[in-house]
């Protein structure tokens, strides 16, 4: 009985202390050395979370559809521009997610006249559009809003996107590096065809190839028109003509069993002969879309990107 009474008295005493205690004793507020009121339970400011921004990026009077996968954290992130192929059925957005998780911002966009972006599609326009995206990312207001570092931009292109990456970065030495994923040397291939068969036969073959790939997602162009445009610029757009532009920049060349490996490896060989000792080659035994090697493709890209993040 005596023990119960003692316990009851202690409980009443503790309750009275809590009720009558001043606010700071309850841990609600405290005064720091400067006299400011601060919550003792206040949590540190959280870092910005990862997000996805839907964008319209201007290019020569058109507003291109774009997505930006923004990495978590407040610091400026290195950024990848992800370039899709012809017409762009494989967009490699799984790579975008993986690359963002590694701390990079990733920009994906649709060239003018492709997949709903206004304007007319052409190869020249695609090269211009890639340059327009680079210019957009380098604008201070955009770089701040997207928490990206415009001094650390890498282009990653698949198929025709690899062609776009080569053309755009050859004209822009500020691009830090490029990744060619089963890149299509479109100029070089047509240049070779023109040297082996009559021009009309080569153009017909190229046109049939474009039609076979599927033109439905593209507007303002025809297979014949694209073939003629490519023939007009074949020599200037051939990968071998760009060797001098890549003497010092890192490059990853990823090939598959799709028939493009020999051209891409020939380009890599010429780059090494030209003095570039930062060319990495990876071959994955799979199809053009890397259908059953997605994890291996992601691993190769992330491993190569890691040193460029700093």
* pLDDT, tens digit (0-9, with 9 covering 90-100), for 133-156: 999 999 999 999 999 999 999 999
Q: What is the DSSP letter of 128?
A: H
User: Per the structure block, which two tokens stand in for 26?
Assistant: 């309850």
Instruction: Give the C-alpha separation, 212 to 215, whole Å.
Output: 8
Write down the pTM of the prediction.
Answer: 0.86
Model pLDDT, residue 172: 98
Model pLDDT, residue 267: 98
Band (pLDDT 50/70/90 cuts) for residue 310 is confident
Residues 6 or more apart from 178 whose CB is under 8 A from it?
154, 155, 156, 157, 165, 166, 169, 246, 249, 251, 252
Give the residue from 11, 200, 226 showing the smallest Cα distance to 113.
226
**Surface-to-core class of residue 258, CB atoms within 10 Å of its CB (0-12 exposed, 13-18 middle, 19+ buried):** middle
Model pLDDT, residue 41: 55
The tens digit of pLDDT for each residue in 212-240 reads: 999 999 999 999 999 999 999 999 999 99
User: Per the structure block, which two tokens stand in for 229?
Assistant: 């445009």
Band (pLDDT 50/70/90 cuts) for residue 42 is low
**Surface-to-core class of residue 149, CB atoms within 10 Å of its CB (0-12 exposed, 13-18 middle, 19+ buried):** middle
**Average pLDDT over the chain, rounded to an integer:** 91
Model pLDDT, residue 2: 46
Q: Between vectors from CA 92 to CA 66 and to CA 254, what angle results, nearest 5°? A: 125
Band (pLDDT 50/70/90 cuts) for residue 46 is confident
Instruction: Give the C-alpha separation, 166 to 211, whole Å.
Output: 24
Q: Which residue has the tokens 């997949």?
A: 115
Is 23's pLDDT higher than 50?
no
Alpha carbons within 13 A on the beta-carbon side of 219: 11
Q: Name which of 39-48, 114-123, 160-169 the model is least confident about.
A: 39-48
Helix, strand, or coil here: 123? helix
The tens digit of pLDDT for each residue in 82-91 reads: 999 999 999 9
Model pLDDT, residue 43: 53
Instruction: Give the C-alpha separation, 134 to 140, whole Å.
Output: 12
Number of CB atoms found within 10 A of residue 145's CB: 12
**Surface-to-core class of residue 44, CB atoms within 10 Å of its CB (0-12 exposed, 13-18 middle, 19+ buried):** exposed
């Amino acid at each position: 009985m005596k023990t119960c009474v003692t316990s009851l008295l202690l409980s009443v005493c503790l309750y009275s202390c809590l009720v009558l205690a001043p606010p700071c004793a309850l841990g609600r507020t405290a005064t720091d050395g400067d006299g400011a009121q601060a919550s003792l339970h206040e949590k540190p400011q959280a870092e910005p979370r990862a997000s996805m921004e839907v964008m319209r990026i201007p290019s020569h009077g058109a507003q291109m559809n774009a997505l930006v996968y923004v990495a978590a954290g407040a610091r400026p992130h290195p950024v990848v521009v992800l370039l899709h192929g012809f017409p762009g059925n494989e967009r490699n957005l799984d790579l975008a997610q993986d690359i963002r998780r590694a701390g990079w911002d990733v920009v994906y966009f649709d060239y003018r006249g492709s997949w709903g972006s206004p304007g007319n599609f052409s190869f020249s326009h695609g090269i211009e559009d890639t340059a327009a995206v680079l210019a957009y990312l380098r604008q201070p207001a955009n770089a701040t809003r997207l928490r990206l570092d415009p001094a650390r931009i890498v282009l990653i292109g698949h198929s025709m996107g690899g062609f776009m990456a080569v053309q755009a970065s050859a004209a822009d030495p500020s691009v830090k590096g490029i990744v060619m994923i089963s890149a299509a040397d479109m100029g070089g291939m047509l240049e070779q065809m023109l040297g082996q068969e009559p021009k009309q036969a080569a153009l017909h073959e190229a046109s049939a190839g474009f039609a076979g790939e599927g033109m439905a997602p593209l507007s303002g162009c025809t297979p014949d028109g694209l073939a003629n445009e490519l023939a007009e610029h074949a020599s200037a757009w051939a990968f071998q003509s760009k060797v001098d532009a890549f003497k010092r920049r890192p490059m990853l060349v990823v090939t598959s069993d799709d028939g493009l490996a020999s051209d891409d490896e020939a380009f890599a060989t010429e780059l090494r002969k030209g003095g570039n000792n930062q060319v990495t080659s990876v071959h994955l035994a799979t199809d053009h879309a890397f259908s059953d090697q997605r994890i291996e493709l992601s691993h190769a890209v992330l491993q190569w990107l890691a040193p460029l993040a700093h």
